[in-house]
Amino acid sequence: MLRYLSGGESHGPGLTAVIDGIPSNLSINIEEINRDLARRQKGYGRGDRMKIEKDKVKILSGIRNGKTLGSPVTLHIENLDWENWQKPTQPVTRPRPGHGDLAGALKYDHTDIRNVLERASARETAARVAVGSIAKTLLKEFGIEIISHVTCIGGVKLKAHYDANTLKQNLGYVEDSQVRCMDKDVEEEMIREIIRAKEEGDSVGGIFEIWVFNVPPGLGSHVNWDRKLDARLAFGLMSIQGIKGVEVGLGFEAGGKRGSEFHDEIFYSADKGYFRKTNNAGGIEGGMTNGAPIVLRAAMKPIPTLYKPLMSVDITTKTPVKAGIERSDTCAVPSASIVGEGVVAWTLAEAFMEKFGGDSLQEVKRNYEGYMEYLRTR
Ligand SMILES: Cc1cc2nc3c(=O)[nH]c(=O)nc-3n(C[C@H](O)[C@H](O)[C@H](O)COP(=O)(O)O)c2cc1C
Ligand SMILES: C=C(O[C@@H]1CC(C(=O)O)=C[C@@H](OP(=O)(O)O)[C@H]1O)C(=O)O
């Protein structure tokens, strides 16, 4: 069984995650984890904090001579901003609409909202990306590949749905793009919209898409609600700060289609086995992977902290006030897409280990290859 927990405040000394259940003998390249951490920090519209942080992972346990031992893997990422937060600060009393401020202060009985925002903050997603990067390494051993791109920022949208080949061909462009968008004209318009929002003391959200390739059929299960993979992927994506909607395959568009237009017809050939010509289901049927690529989309609301704040109520005096202002991003959709890759990798690694689980990578491979061999005879 795979599991992990993380701890760490946004302006504390750092973030720590302990992962249990990674099989032994998996080669881990720290530079791959650092590459994902750097990808998460990029993206047009991020605030000044990203000029301070230079996220790098330290591995404190579970890896020796570059390979996992089978014991818990402990990851640590330092907060370089920590040294600027050593002096006592004024209590934060003006909750920001859209952040965890008011609900968190009421629930945990805090009179200083900073005690809530320190952990509600998406700083925590650096730990999730490091954990996700290890999950990606495990999945890569089986040819599973996860990619993401941004399809909408602040209402500026990609003009078409792209197929897997076009997406793969444009991946280099996406990685270089300041907003992780594959179309140069749309990218420029997105950046203009972020600039306009920032100038007006406002913020934007958007949508990102995640594709997973080479997934074997049969991850997840139809037999109980909490084993359904589409539900678990939606849970993972929805748990990212700011996410308000998740789609699988055609998603909300499915509600307007006839059955005959929507469902992906089944074909068989001796060389390919069972296959589909369409993928409106997004690779999941009955809570299980069906062998087609998994396609997911997540919608992020606009960033809650506004430099031109909305109205709020001071929690000490109960008087109407403008909401508090913290240093903030204007847009974080490109970063959220990298976090999305991480949580999807984690969820799939969990499901993968449930199906093929073993204590060493060799054992997992034997189990996987046995199943793939069985599928070839079906
Ligand atoms: C990568 C990333 C960066 C974010 N940066 C900010 C930010 O600078 N300011 C802010 O108010 N919210 C930011 N958010 C969103 C808040 O963390 C989030 O809205 C808040 O924790 C409340 O959670 P909820 O939106 O899921 O309800 C960011 C989210 C992500 C994923
Ligand atoms: C620190 C990160 O994002 C932070 C997420 C965040 C929030 O409210 O979610 C608020 C900002 O924090 P600060 O006020 O310290 O600048 C972002 O910078 C990060 O992504 O590493």
- Cα–Cα separations (whole angstroms), residue 360 to 22, 25, 223, 334: 8, 6, 28, 35
Q: Say yes or no to pLDDT of 252 above 90.
A: yes
Question: Which of 167, 169, 136 lies closest to 151 in space, CA to CA?
Answer: 167
Output the pLDDT for position 75.
98
| pTM exceeds 0.90, yes or no | yes
What pLDDT is attached to residue 372? 97
CA of 122 to the centre of ligand 1 (A): 5
The pLDDT tens digits of the residues spanning 89-120 come to 999 999 999 999 999 999 999 999 999 999 99
What pLDDT, on the 0 to 100 scale, is given for residue 160? 84
Both tokens of residue 155? Answer: 């209402």
Query: What pLDDT is attached to residue 332?
Result: 98
Q: 7: which residues sit within 8 A by CB, 6+ positions away? A: 15, 16
Question: Has 103 been labeled as part of a binding site?
Answer: no
Tens digits of per-residue pLDDT, 118-152? 999 999 999 999 999 999 999 999 999 999 999 99
Domains within the chain, CATH numbers bracketed: 3-376 (3.60.150.10)
pLDDT tens readout for residues 29-67: 999 999 999 999 999 999 999 999 999 999 999 999 999
> Does 126 contact ligand 2 (Cβ within 6 A)?
yes
Q: Which residue in 29, 30, 32, 55 sits closest to 42, CA to CA?
A: 55
Torsion of the alpha carbons at 88, 93, 95 and 96, rounded to the nearest 10? -50
Q: Is a pLDDT exceeding 90 seen at residue 162?
A: no
pLDDT at 187: 97
Give per-residue pLDDT as tens, 207-239: 999 999 999 999 999 999 999 999 999 999 999
Q: What is the mean pLDDT of the chain?
A: 97
d(CA 190, CA 180) in angstroms, rounded, equals 10
Does the annotation list 13 as a binding residue?
Answer: no
ipTM: 0.99
- Point out which residues pair with 375 in neighbouring strands: none
With a cut of 90, say whether residue 240 has pLDDT above it.
yes
- Nearest atom of ligand 2 to the alpha carbon of 122: 9
89 annotated binding-site participant: no
274/267 Cα distance (integer angstroms): 6
Q: Has residue 326 got a pLDDT over 90?
A: yes
Distance CA 46, CA 58 (A): 24
* 121 assigned ligand-binding residue: yes
Ligand 2 centroid distance, CA of 338 (Å): 15
CA 34, CA 130: separation in Å to the nearest integer? 8
CA-nearest residue for atom 2, ligand 2, is 123
Instruction: Identify the DSSP state of 360.
Output: B
* C-alpha span between 89 and 196 (Å, rounded): 32
pLDDT at residue 217 in the model: 98
Å from CA of 327 to ligand 2 middle: 8
The whole-number pLDDT of residue 317 equals 98
Confidence of residue 256 (pLDDT cuts 50, 70, 90): very high
Contact 265, 194 (CB under 8 A): no
Residues 38 and 201: their CA atoms lie apart, in Å, by: 27
Q: How big is the chain by its Cα radius of gyration, in Å? A: 22
CA-nearest residue for atom 3, ligand 2, is: 123
